[in-house]
Amino acid sequence: MSRRVLNGIVFLLVLIPSIQYVWQSRDMPQFAYLHDDGILFVTAKSVAEGSYRIESFPDAPPQTKFPPLYPAYLSLIWQVNPNFPANLRVGTLFAWLPLAGYLLLAWLYYRKIGITEGRAWLLAALLGINPYLLAFGGMMFSDVLFSCCVLAVMLALAGEGVAMAALAGALAACAYLSRTAGIALLASVPLAMLWAGRKKAVFQKAVVFSAPLLAAVIGWMWWTRTHTKTSVDLTTLYYTDYMRYLLRFDWNVLPSVLWKNIDQLLYSMGSMAVPRVFDAFFMKTLTQVVGVAMIVGTVRLVRRGGAGQYASFALITSAILLIWNFPPTERFVVPLYPLLLAGLATEIEHLGKMLLGAFRKKDMGERVVASGFLAAVVFLLGMGLALQVYMTFFYPRQASAARVEKLRDQRAAYQWISNNLPTSAKVLSYDDPLLYLYTGRRGHYLPLDPLWWYTEDHDSIRGSYRDVAAYSRSHGLEYIYFTSEDLSRETGDEDRTAVQRLVRENRELTPVFQAGIGTIYRVGPARP
């Protein structure tokens, strides 16, 4: 059997967990749970129909928040099957394909930087059972496609000559047009090139790389500049102007933003290896230790040579995430994880050599300490692997069952809306993309300012829903669809319970339909 055939067989084995994962969720009951994927799919529908708008939002403004590459890709789903929700099965396949590419490109990258074939397959297999990668690879988020573009950039940069630099630049433009986070490449790649060598040829390669990426940046910025609404309303900013929404904050809050983002970034890095099944402080600390080990191991890997470009991108990206006033969850670590996993493996190898040296010493005290340390490392890695297996092969069934139950209640409400409300009715709904796709009614949800999370401003969180009737009237929303699961992606149980009570007791809201977890309210006039 040839080496190429053997590698193909091994790759198919690496794909099995992701295939099994997406097959279990082929109807995509988790669709739009995190909102962005719903907006992306609504935008894809618009692309398939010949425009580039947020059709679910009142007045259907141009899409100026998400760049066009991923919606254009998803628009193929609507062309294959224009019937929602039946086309979610096609969407599951289209979501999985970039994940398969992610695993292949990661393996190729590992081989390119000198990792042996066996270790490269081991790392690829660990990527292939990672529950976070599988979760985002089973949903319509741009993160995995963006990560594929980044890995392709790194492979192209490993080649020689100006032509490969130009190819890397074109791939970087694709990365930026799938997620604007790709702008980090505009700084990281030229800086790493110039750091590696100061010759004229290096400068030429940096210019050739930057040209197509800069053209993509200018083109997207022109589109957003000429099509973005001028409104400073927080909701409009959230839906149409990503930069203005996230970059408006009091500089006095910056220390809190930095402190919490450092905490969350380390936690998210470590959680990729030790998933967040338990929220105990002890577990969080251990997980962050794993995150630190990833960083230290990545530094060792770079010192050995070969991963400098990827590390430069990871450094610039992390710096952006630390000052961004939005918590850096595991989703934002997905593009960096192939490097971080290789860094973790490098650090484990380093620790193994140190412990082996300690075991060879005659001093019993050093050997006892080494034994204890080895036991702790083995326990942590074993626990991380066990949690990954649980989250990949067992947890999805439980989560899927809960989401199917929620969706059943939502569909009952959507059916009532379709049968009883005029097509011009506008509805405030936490899952507004779902509402639009099921009913054709437009609306939006009430976004909470991320700064409230950083400053632990619970009064503002609850206050936004205390005044929800006035908010709805000011935005032309005649109805509110509210469920007990609303705010689940943004707040804790205490705030959610308080908000539910405020909505339920609001005398300006009249219940007109109730099904399971959700109630539809008609917004009345302001009370004197």
Give yes or no for residue 201 having a pLDDT over 70.
Answer: no
Q: Which helix (H) or strand (E) holds 379?
A: helix 364-393
Which region among 103-112, 155-164, 291-300, 475-484 has the lowest average model confidence (pLDDT)? Answer: 155-164
Q: What is the mean pLDDT of residues 180-192?
A: 94
Which region among 135-149, 237-251, 379-393, 505-519 has the lowest average model confidence (pLDDT)? Answer: 237-251
pLDDT for 245 equals: 73
Give the CATH fold of the 397-523 domain.
Rossmann fold (3.40.50)
Residue percentage of the chain with pLDDT more than 70: 95
Tokens of 276: 């967040």
pLDDT for 521 equals: 97
**Would you say 520 and 413 are in contact if contact means Cβ atoms under 8 Å apart?**
yes
Q: What does the radius of gyration of the chain's CA atoms come to, in whole angstroms?
A: 25
Half-sphere exposure of 80 (CA within 13 A, CB side): 16
Give yes or no for residue 360 having a pLDDT over 90.
Answer: no
Length of the chain: 528
* C-alpha span between 331 and 367 (Å, rounded): 41
Give yes or no for residue 174 having a pLDDT over 80.
Answer: yes
pLDDT for 391 equals: 82
Confidence class of residue 337 from pLDDT cuts 50, 70 and 90?
very high
Gap between the terminal Cα atoms of the chain? 83
pLDDT for 155 equals: 96
Residue percentage of the chain with pLDDT more than 90: 62
**Whole-prediction pTM:** 0.94
pLDDT for 60 equals: 93
Residue from 396, 359, 490 nearest 131 by CA: 396
pLDDT for 356 equals: 74
For residue 326, give the DSSP letter: S
Confidence class of residue 73 from pLDDT cuts 50, 70 and 90?
very high
Give yes or no for residue 367 having a pLDDT over 80.
Answer: no
Q: What is the mean pLDDT of residues 2-12?
A: 83
Helix (H, G, I), strand (E, B) or coil at 495: helix
**Would you say 63 and 54 are in contact if contact means Cβ atoms under 8 Å apart?**
yes
Q: Where in the chain is the domain with CATH 3.40.50?
A: 397-523
**Would you say 54 and 42 are in contact if contact means Cβ atoms under 8 Å apart?**
yes
Give yes or no for residue 366 having a pLDDT over 70.
Answer: no
Estimate the share of the chain in helix, then strand, then coil, as percent rounded to the nearest 5.
Answer: 70, 5, 25
* C-alpha span between 251 and 255 (Å, rounded): 8
Tokens of 411: 């569909």
**Would you say 151 and 186 are in contact if contact means Cβ atoms under 8 Å apart?**
no
* C-alpha span between 113 and 120 (Å, rounded): 10
Average pLDDT in the chain: 90
